[in-house]
Amino acid sequence: MTVDIDLKKTVDTSYKIYIDALPALTFDKKVAVVTNPTVSGLHLDYLLERLEAPAVEVITLPDGEQYKNWESIETVLGALFEARFNRSSLLIAFGGGVIGDMTGFAASIFQRGIDFIQIPTTLLSQVDASVGGKTGINNRYGKNLVGAFHQPIAVYADPHFLATLPPREFAAGVAEIVKMAVTFDADFFAWLETADLSKPEQLAEAVARSVKTKAAVVAQDEKERGLRAALNYGHTFGHVIENETNYTTYLHGETVAIGMVMANRLAVALGLMEATEAERVEQLLQRYGLPVRYAIADVDAFYEAFFLDKKSGDNSITFILPQHLGGVEMRSDIPREAVMDILRTFTEAAQ
Amino acid sequence: MTVDIDLKKTVDTSYKIYIDALPALTFDKKVAVVTNPTVSGLHLDYLLERLEAPAVEVITLPDGEQYKNWESIETVLGALFEARFNRSSLLIAFGGGVIGDMTGFAASIFQRGIDFIQIPTTLLSQVDASVGGKTGINNRYGKNLVGAFHQPIAVYADPHFLATLPPREFAAGVAEIVKMAVTFDADFFAWLETADLSKPEQLAEAVARSVKTKAAVVAQDEKERGLRAALNYGHTFGHVIENETNYTTYLHGETVAIGMVMANRLAVALGLMEATEAERVEQLLQRYGLPVRYAIADVDAFYEAFFLDKKSGDNSITFILPQHLGGVEMRSDIPREAVMDILRTFTEAAQ
């Protein structure tokens, strides 16, 4: 006997990203703002002045990628249960990508899923983490290995918050903007080479173009079965660097910058990209003070670490490589030796 | 500046429930069977004889609702990472509702979601837990408070497993079948009053009818915004009993049986149900040896505990009450005193 369960249906997870000064936000439900001490110290008053709800809880998590773990999720969930939040309550992620990932994950599993809003306060999270619905935490096996796809109901990217960003954090955001341009939009890349992102209008323009590009990719492939993987350009190498340095030496965007330089060198070796194009990317990254070198201590260990990364299949690694500027290729057929040759150019001795 | 993120799309989460002898299952991917020592001891060989895959991991969790917690989820996730499972790997839930809930939840968050199959081995999980995609764990605030909606790709309900069920577990499954009949199908209820579920064909018929009824409800309301809440008939009271008795005294289905009797008494008091109808439900439950009495030690504490249950809104409790036989009403407007009057009839002194 067979019973058919038919749950085919149309799901509307559309939402808007507002690149503008934060408007007044009024809700008729309990709201919890999840943030960290740094963002809270600088900007919590600014947010609370604009936020109205029957109850507002502020949940403060320790600052840093090393706290992006299950303990922090339990802190959030515990606070919600203590304050008797329910299925119609709302979370607001108020911080950078780490806060966004954890708040989104907590929202996705609290009572099997509640709504959340993102108010990203870093350039990186405004251009990258706020689009796509990826949420999650790290564990001892690697980065973002546990999580969910859970879309926010709205994103407010207010330029106000970027004024207080330390230069390194600003640059880390630029790395993701460059990533988007290199892989999907040659015109945008050329525009970036002459733009001045310290000017508010040009910065807003860059944020909007990045977000639109990413949104178009995610809309085609929400669950990352194909095209969306292209957004991991620079990340395959970058994740290994983050793991090796325990998430403490570099900001995420900085490892992406180094990772892009590594991927480009592999692309040049495979004839996908001109050496001059790779050079232009490196110069743009350096203009914003981003790191483009990393001394690999043990190339074999570095290579092995790819296989623990979740983007890997059983016996192959997919490399995301630029195809000149504005194009991208995903390759799972690259021989170990070809990759090792590139890794060896990043050892202390070679540089 | 506003950017629209448009992820409106059709999601196909349809699947089949096979009520039949387990067929040969062949996969071209890594498979992990999540089970417990009891089921494994009785039936693992039976499953493994029918299962073919490049790699089969068996993950054994301790048996019992008290282990339906985050530690068990970490055990599953850790085993998957150690065995280098990836996004295309598959989990099989092999056991009762607890194993199904935990395996489904682990599948939903491992690398942001992988496929899973259910092979329910108890009557309760065949008729109830295997339909609807609810997954989750308990925590110190209550039952199923953390989890996700994650549909299996297929369910195999093999009557073979029911032959070894202890009578109490069999009866606990009957409680959920009765629940489905009382709330949605008067004919089915009348059929159950004369049926003999110890006969395999009649049992298969009862499983199929329950599953079809639940499937129809879930298809209309996957995320439990409305109608699906009706499936919680007996559960609002039952969850409090489970909490008070630490999940150790009663099986889940047994607390549902008591919970239905409590809900019926409230329904009779409110004029929604005849006393004779409530009596027929009680007799059917007793025929299968199900408990229909519970001595509430502290009626105020019992009432307060409703508010920690996740089905509760901020200031009201929704009671699921039968409307005669075959109908159901959800009521959030019942005065505290009306409920307390019913609870008082369940104290030791009153019974």
Dump pLDDT digits (tens) for B149-191.
999 999 999 999 999 899 999 999 999 999 999 999 999 999 9
Predicted complex ipTM? 0.84
Q: What is the pLDDT of residue B308?
A: 72
Taking the CA of residue B324 and the nearest CA in chain A, the distance in Å comes to 28
- Could you tell me which of B157, B103, B159 has the C-alpha nearest to residue B134? B103
Q: What is the pLDDT of residue A226?
A: 76
CB B242 within 8 A of CB B64: no
Q: What is the pLDDT of residue A10?
A: 58
How far, in Å, CA of B40 to CA of B94, rounded? 8
- Chain A residues with CB under 8 Å of B134 CB are 112
- Chain B residues with CB under 8 Å of A9 CB are 10-11, 222
How far, in Å, CA of A134 to CA of B207, rounded? 38
Residues belonging to chain B: 351
- DSSP conformational letter for A2: E
C-alpha pair distances (Å), B180 with each of A30, B122, B176, B214, B221: 34, 17, 6, 7, 16
Letter string b/e over residues B92-103, b meaning 16 or more CB atoms within 10 A of that residue's CB:
bbbbbbbbbbbb
Is A161 annotated in some ligand binding site? yes
Is A68 annotated in some ligand binding site? yes
- Chain A residues with CB under 8 Å of B155 CB are 5
Is A64 annotated in some ligand binding site? yes
Mean pLDDT by 10 residues, chain A (351 residues): 73 84 96 98 98 98 93 98 95 96 98 97 89 92 92 94 93 96 96 94 93 87 76 93 90 95 97 98 97 96 82 71 95 94 92 73
Q: What is the pLDDT of residue B302?
A: 96
User: Pick from A3, A8, A131: which is nearest to B19 by CB?
Assistant: A3
Across-strand partners of A134? A149
Q: What is the pLDDT of residue A321?
A: 96
CA closest to B143 among chain A residues: A111
Cα Rg, chain B, nearest whole Å: 20
Task: Tell me if residue B190 falls in helix, strand or coil.
Answer: helix
Taking the CA of residue B74 and the nearest CA in chain A, the distance in Å comes to 10
How far, in Å, CA of B159 to CA of B119, rounded? 11
CB A213 within 8 A of CB A177: no
Phi, psi dihedrals of residue B249, rounded to the nearest 5°: -75, -45
Taking the CA of residue B1 and the nearest CA in chain A, the distance in Å comes to 5
The secondary structure element, H or E, covering residue A27 is none
Report CB contact under 8 Å: A9, B109.
no
- In sequence order, which residues have a C-beta less than 8 Å from that of residue B297 and are 6 or more positions away? B244, B347, B348
CA closest to A6 among chain B residues: B14
Structural domains of chain A ordered from first start: 16-163 (3.40.50.1970), 166-344 (1.20.1090.10)
Beta strands B9-11 and B2-5 are unpaired
Read off the pLDDT of residues A17-53 as tens digits, 9 standing for 90 and up: 999 999 999 999 999 999 999 999 999 999 999 999 9
Unique residue bearing structure tokens 């409590």: B262
CB A118 within 8 A of CB A149: no
Report CB contact under 8 Å: B134, A112.
yes
Using 70 as the pLDDT threshold, list the residues of chain B that sit under it.
7-12, 223-225, 309-315
CA closest to A145 among chain B residues: B111
Report CB contact under 8 Å: A20, B1.
yes
Q: What is the pLDDT of residue A7?
A: 67
* Angle ∠(A243,A35,A135) on CA atoms, nearest 5: 50
The region, left, alpha or beta by phi > 0 then psi within -120 to 50, assigned to residue B96 is beta
Report the residue of A1, A2, A3 to disrupt the B interface, i.e. the one with the largest count of B CBs within 10 Å.
A3
CA closest to B81 among chain A residues: A141
- Chain A residues with CB under 8 Å of B84 CB are 307-308, 314
Is A65 annotated in some ligand binding site? yes
